Structure formats: C-alpha cells, structure tokens
C-alpha cells in the first residue's frame, strides 16, 4: 500500500514538475517562429481576463488559457490589460503578450485616395472607413478653407464660396481610428505642400506661378487633365492642348467638366448634357471653370507646369485607352468614326 502511495506521489511530483516547467517556458522563454504570421486581435472595452484569454486561445496566440490567467494574476497584470487592437504572433511568451496588452496603441486605419477622386468621392471613402465621420461632417469641414488657419499660405487663393476641391492630395494615408474630418483634410493639404516641395515646385507668396497662372488655376487645369487621360506622357500632351485653346480663346470642351456637374462618369457627354447651365461646363463657357473638378496627382500638376507643345487641338481616348490626337476638327471627327464607332 505504501508503495502505491509512493508511486502516486511520485507521479504527482513529476506532473507538477512538467506543468511548472511548461508554465515557466510559456511565461518567459517561448518565442514565435521567425516567419510566423501576425494576428490582429481587438479587445473590447470592459473585457475580463477570462474573455481576453479566450480571444488569445481562439487565435492560437496562447496554448493554455489556464496558464495565461495564472501568469496575469501572479504578475498583477490582469487589471492593467487594455482595450484596443493589437498585433500579436502565435507562440509569444506570456510576458511579451502582457507587455503588449498593457501598452495599447491607438488603432490606425490605412486608406488610399486615388488620383482624380473628387471631394465627394473622397468623403464617401472616408465615411466608409471612419465610422465617426459622416459625409455631412466631411462636407462641412471641406467647405470652409478659411478654417485651416495654418495652411493659408496655399489656401488663400481659393475664391470665396469654394471648398477644398483640388487641394487634398491623393495618396495612401494612415490615420488614427479616432481621427476627425478636419485632421484628415489638413493632413492631405500638408501632403500636397510636401509633395510640391519634393518636386521643386515653388508656390510663391502671391500664388502666381512662373507660367503666368495662379496656383488655383494650375490646380484647376491639372484636375481636368487628371480626369481626361491617364499616362504621364498623355497628361503633358493634353495639358499643352488645353493651354493652346485657352490662349486662342477656344473652349476647352472637356467632357470631365460636364460630368462634374451631372455626376455621370460617361466617356463622352450627350448633346443635352453639353448644354447644362453651369460655369463648370467648358462646352458652354470659355476659359477655365471656377475651380478644380477633382484632386489631381503630381503627374497632372507637373503636366500643366511643363506641357508638351504641339500643333494638336483635339484628342480622344479609344475604348482600349489609347489617346488619339488631331490638328483639325475634320480629322478629329474622322477619328471619332474610326475609333469610337
């Protein structure tokens, strides 16, 4: 009988040693594999130690909820575990996990705004990714350039009554999850200024560029070029055509400006739409529209500042994306029948 008791005690001691060894290993020495995939875990406000351990176990970050809870209580960390979004890896030690969970970092959201997005499209994308920002919030902030007091060096040329269309640089951004509309808009304005500087584009205090256009006019034409063609080379060529038209008093006749008014995305506009009564309709009114129709990228801005000179006055884009140029209206009509019919 004593022998059996001894065996049981021995087994108990052995199991205890194994378990304690496993606990110590998981707590302090365990480390993830070099190529282990990251796991994003969101811990809601008010989560208990039990619910946190359950989340970690479900994502295979820990192998034992029991040991993790013991470690958290033993180190007095359970009351310090925070809510938030954390990036962890499977097989991290308890010490590493707890260190991460007690130092919550604000979650960031990455968002990409493509070149040529309008203010409205940008607002819709923002509202989709930031639940605390409504489209109305976005419109309200971006309708008042004068509220951005620290950015007036570049915004002061915006005519009264116009918003920030054209001044929000399209790029990939990372913002805190709790960012507000003004913070996002101001970051995009600052990015425009930075990208201009990086490309040695100087905007003078008087906002009159070297080509004789105001900065607002440059952005306005660049926004049209951005919506008309895609490649850097075509942008420079088309910018040259538009500048020639402006010089000789010919209407720009840019379909993109009509689409800006109608909200359509047609490759070519109807006769009815081309007669819409709006200062942005460059079929009906000579010169540039009052302001940008989109937020242009750097290629479009550079195209306006460094256009390609040519004798062409017309262009069209084929369904395959090729841009066809012509010098006369008759040739342009012939190209329409050839490429668009």
pLDDT digits 0-9 by tens, 45-64 = 788 999 999 999 999 888 88
Phi, psi of 86 (to 5 degrees): -125, 145
How many domains, the chain?
3
Pick from 14-18, 95-99, 107-111, 270-274: least confident: 14-18
In a domain, 71, yes or no: yes
Instruction: Please provide the DSSP assignment of 301-322 as one string.
Output: HHHHHSPPP-S--EEEE-TTS-
- Shared domain check, 144 and 226: no
The whole-number pLDDT of residue 15 equals: 41
- Shared domain check, 135 and 226: no
**pTM, entire model:** 0.72
Range of the domain at 235: 215-339
C-alpha neighbours within 13 Å on the C-beta side of residue 133? 26
In a domain, 309, yes or no: yes
In the structure, what pLDDT confidence band is assigned to residue 90 with cuts at 50, 70 and 90?
A: confident
- Shared domain check, 122 and 93: no
- Shared domain check, 226 and 135: no
In a domain, 17, yes or no: no
The whole-number pLDDT of residue 37 equals: 79
- Shared domain check, 255 and 179: no
CATH code for position 62: 3.30.1490.480
End-of-domain residue from the set 84, 105, 126: 105
SS3 at position 181: helix
The whole-number pLDDT of residue 30 equals: 52
pLDDT digits 0-9 by tens, 239-294 = 999 999 999 999 999 999 999 999 888 778 888 999 999 999 999 999 999 999 99
- Shared domain check, 60 and 43: yes
Beta bridge partners of 43: 84
């Amino acid at each position: 009988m004593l022998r059996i008791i001894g065996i049981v005690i021995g087994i108990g001691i052995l199991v205890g040693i194994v378990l304690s060894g496993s606990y110590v290993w998981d707590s302090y020495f365990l480390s993830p594999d070099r190529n282990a995939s990251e796991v994003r875990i969101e811990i809601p406000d008010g989560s208990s130690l039990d619910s946190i351990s359950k989340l970690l176990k479900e994502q295979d970050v820990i192998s034992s909820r029991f040991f993790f809870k013991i470690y958290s209580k033993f180190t007095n960390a359970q009351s310090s575990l925070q809510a938030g979004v954390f990036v962890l890896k499977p097989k991290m030690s308890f010490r590493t996990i707890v260190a991460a969970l007690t130092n919550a970092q604000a979650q960031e959201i990455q968002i990409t705004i493509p070149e040529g997005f309008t203010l409205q499209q940008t607002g819709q994308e923002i509202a989709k990714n930031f639940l605390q920002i409504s489209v109305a919030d976005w419109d309200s902030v971006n309708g008042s350039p004068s509220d951005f007091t620290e950015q007036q060096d570049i915004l002061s040329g915006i005519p009264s009554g116009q918003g920030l269309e054209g001044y929000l640089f399209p790029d990939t951004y990372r913002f805190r999850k709790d960012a507000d509309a003004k913070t996002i808009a101001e970051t995009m304005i600052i990015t425009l200024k930075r990208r201009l500087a990086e490309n040695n584009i100087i905007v003078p205090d008087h906002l009159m560029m070297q080509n004789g256009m105001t900065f607002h006019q440059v952005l306005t034409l660049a926004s049209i070029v951005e919506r008309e063609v895609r490649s850097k080379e075509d942008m420079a060529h088309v910018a040259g055509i538009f500048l020639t038209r402006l010089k000789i008093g010919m209407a720009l006749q840019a379909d993109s400006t009509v689409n800006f008014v109608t909200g359509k995305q047609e490759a070519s506009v109807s006769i009815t739409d081309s007669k819409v009564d709006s200062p942005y309709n460059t079929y009906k009114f000579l010169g540039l529209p009052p302001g940008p129709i989109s937020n242009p990228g750097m290629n479009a801005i550079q195209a306006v500042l460094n256009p390609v000179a040519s004798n062409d006055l017309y262009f069209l884009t084929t369904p395959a994306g090729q841009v066809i140029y012509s010098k006369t209206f008759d040739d342009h009509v012939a190209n329409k029948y050839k490429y668009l019919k």
